[in-house]
Structure 1
Amino acid sequence: MATLKQIQARLRKLQERAESLISDRAQAVLDDIRAMMERHGLTTSDIERHRRKAKRAAKPNVAIPAPVKRHEAVNRAAKKGKLPAKYRNPETGETWSGWARPPAWIVNVKDRSRFLIDAEGTEIAVKPKPKAAAGLKPKPAAKKQTPKPAAKKSAAVPARKTSGRKTAASSK
């Protein structure tokens, strides 16, 4: 069994070997870069000059705001946290902010005003729709007279809407 000193000695040797491999690889890359620079006639000052131009071009003098798209606005709102509740189910106490898909308890409701919550979180009292006075029946709504459809030309051929173009069948 190996002792602690032996394991530490192996670790030192492995670490030295890893460092030499890293320095050899770095030296090979530097040699390749120098060869490419000589081949293209470049110097380190050329590289510095190019780097400064790239930095200046990256920072415009006037900041131009990017157009805000819908998904960015939604993400921004999501980062701020949950939206305040706007509707509350009186039976279960569930709430909904009025944003995104409505929950099942309010999906088919035509008049959502009875579920509204004010800013303090209390339900808003909504006046019920006025009903007919006691003892009086509401008058039925008058029926609208609809024009009678024109007589069909032929029972065998159904009527079609035309797009304004004449077809071979209609020109005969």
Structure 2
Amino acid sequence: MFEGIKKVKKLWICGRTNHFNDAPKCLDNHIYLPELEVLKILLYDHFGSDFLHQHPVPCVGSFPSYLKKLTLQGTHLLWSKLTIISKLPKLEVLQFKALQLFGDKVGETVWEVSEMGFSKLKFLLIEKKGLKNWKATDDSFPCLERVIIKNCHFLQEIPKGFADSMRLKRIEL
């Protein structure tokens, strides 16, 4: 689908979730955009439904390596797939908005970030849903400067490793 626009640097994909159920490949072909730096996938559900089968899941292995800013809204992801996103070598801004994160096991609500997980990430926004336990060390986000956490009513605590961070300037709740 994207092979004719290889030089695009910014891409927004917007629409109702049911528009992507029959053709989810448009969420998975970003690897064909080698110069893509900014990607926003903004999906909304007209009926406010929260059923898994109605929310497309982007294939996280399809994100190009030059990606610097990624925004996901209204999609579903496995917690374990965030590890793949963490390996994007140039990612500086990551925003999860109204994103349903779920575990491989039913009821899993822990996001465990590996050491040196997000090596270049400077800004992280987590808005709404799914996050109860978040485990990370200061090595998990070595360049992180700003964190915004909105409407995460069940989040029990911010990772203790953030207290040791020399770069973290601001946490907004």
Fold in common (TM above 0.5): no
**Larger relative contact order (CA 8 Å, sep ≥ 6):** 2
Larger Rg, first or second structure (1 or 2): 1
**Structure 1-normalised TM-score?**
0.16
- Greater share of helix: 1
Q: Comparing both structures, which one devotes a greater share of its residues to strand?
A: 2
